[in-house]
Each structure stands twice: as structure tokens, then as C-alpha cells.
Amino acid sequence: MVADRTGDNFFNFRFPEKEGFLYGFNLYALVSGNDVLLFDSAFRTQVTKVKKHLASEGLKLTHVVLTHFHNDHAAGLVSLKGDLTVLGSPEYRKTLKKNIPQTVTPVSFQSGYTFGDFKLGFTAAPGHSPCSIFIDINGRYLHAGDNLMGRYDGTAILPWVEFDQLENHISSLKMLRAMGRDRVLLSHGPELSGRKNINRAIDDRLSYLETVLDTGGKCSFEEAVSGCSCSFTGKEFFHDLLSR
């Protein structure tokens, strides 16, 4: 684990890819006094290391906000206490497969949530999962969860989506592009910065997803990515998409 701290109130806990595993993890955290709000929990191994590091600095994990409830984002909740405040999409029950000890508080897409000096805004962004959300942090960062994925070496990871959610995923990516953000945080891979780079990353995913949708899935992988400016890893996600 690599723990980067910006100023006194923002952490990025990075877990680089392990051999044979497609992606690593980012667990971002906000600090207010001695309390910490964490975005996602990953698996037990990752969140336990984060919690131990926070304790070494006299900080306590009190809140977790889930970008969505796939196991690699929510399974770590099982190892945390039940008095933890957990927030996520009102649609979380469609995705959550674990028996977690916490009660999930649905986020408000209208009023957001305040944590110390941080104002969080939430936007429904279904596609990768029914409960995916975009999270705005003080207008400075936009956490995109798994709507965009990458590896730490800069390689783009192919979108993971079920076929009947293709249109939703496309709509969410178009919405992200229209937001015109300059800094986008990812759950997997390095932060994307600069409007041009972010738009290119979005457009490459859109080209792939729209080709698959327009052909009804009757295309080869090479045809699906032919309009993309990048080389994708995660070809298995293409086969998963067409097998469902």
C-alpha cells in the first residue's frame, strides 16, 4: 500500500496491481478533525491496512461512501464495525451480495452530504452497475468509480457492463463528458486530469460500447475497438459482455 496525503485532509491509498490481477485499488479518504470518510472499502485486506494506517496517525474511520456495491468495492465492510456510517445509491440492494453489519443510508441526489469542510454531491450513473454514482467533492474532484477504469501504468481497462445495461452505461459516460471536469478520480487506476485527456478517455469507451450496441453484439473484439485511440486491456470483459 502507498499512502499519499495532500495537505491535512485528503488521502489516496493506492494498492498497485498484483501479478496475475487485472487492476489495483484506490481508496480515497477525507479528514475532518480526527474523523475520516473513505470512498469504497475494497476487500478486507485493503480496508484493514487503511484503517491501521489511519489509527497510526490518530484518525478514526467513521464514514464510508460507496461508488457502487460490487464485491471489490463493498466486501471490506464485513470487517468493519456496525456503527460506521455507510452511504450509497438508493439502488444499492440491486447489487449488494454481502451480509454487511452496517445499515446503508441512501444518498440524496438533491441535497448531497456535508462532512466537515467537504460538500459532497451525488449523481446517479447506472451502467457498470445499477447503483453506480458520480461523487463531486467540493467542486474540485469528480469520483467516477468504475465508469472509467485503468491500470497504474496508464493502460486503459475495457468497460465491464452487462449487455442490457449498455445504453445506461453510454448515457452515464455522456453525462460525465458534459460535466466538463478537469480532475476525475478512479477506483482503479491513476487520476485523470485535464479536460482533453478526460474527454479522450471517455470517447474511447463510448466508441467501444456504441459499436457493441449498434451491432447487437455481432462484432469481433477488433471491430469493437477499431474506433478507439487507445489500446485496451481486459479483453475478457468483451467475452463476458457477449456471453450474458
Q: What is the DSSP string of 115-177?
A: ETTEEEEEEE--SSSTT-EEEEETTTEEE-TTSSEE-TTSPEEPPP--GGGHHHHHHHHHHHH
pLDDT score, position 6: 84
Report whether pLDDT(159) > 90.
yes
C-alpha cell at 108: 440524496
The 10s digit of each residue's pLDDT in 33-88 is 999 999 999 999 999 999 999 999 999 999 999 999 999 999 999 999 889 999 99
pLDDT on residue 244 = 63
CB atoms within 10 A of CB 177: 17
Q: What does residue 169 show for φ and ψ, rounded to 5 degrees?
A: -65, -40
Average pLDDT over residues 117-123: 97
Mean pLDDT in the chain?
A: 96
pLDDT for 107 beyond 70:
yes
Q: What angle do CA 176, 140, 118 make, to 5 degrees?
A: 115
Q: What is the mean pLDDT of residues 90-113?
A: 96
Q: Does residue 122 contact residue 102 with C-beta atoms inside 8 Å?
A: no
Which three cell numbers mark 204?
Answer: 474511447
State residue 146's pLDDT score.
Answer: 98
What integer pLDDT is reported at residue 7 of this predicted model? 80
* 121: its cell numbers: 454531491
Mean pLDDT of 126-148: 98
Write out pLDDT tens, residues 198-231. 999 999 999 999 999 999 999 999 999 999 999 9
| DSSP 8-class letter at 16 | P
| Separation between Cα atoms, residue 122 and residue 142, nearest integer Å | 10
**Confidence (pLDDT) at 115:** 98
What gap in Å lies between CA 156 and CA 209, rounded to an integer?
14
What percent of the chain is modeled with pLDDT above 70? 100
Contact 1, 16 (CB under 8 A): no
Strand order in the sheet with 232-233: 149-150, 156-157, 232-233
| pLDDT 10s digits, 19-35 | 788 999 999 999 999 99
Question: Domain boundaries in the chain?
Answer: 2-105+121-157+165-196
Q: Give the residue carrying C-alpha cell 474511520.
A: 61
Pair 155, 197: CB distance under 8 Å: no
* Whether CATH 1.20.59.10 fits 2-105+121-157+165-196: no
Set of cell numbers at residue 240 = 463476458
Mean pLDDT of the 106-126 span:
98
**Cα 11 to Cα 139: distance, rounded to the nearest angstrom:** 17
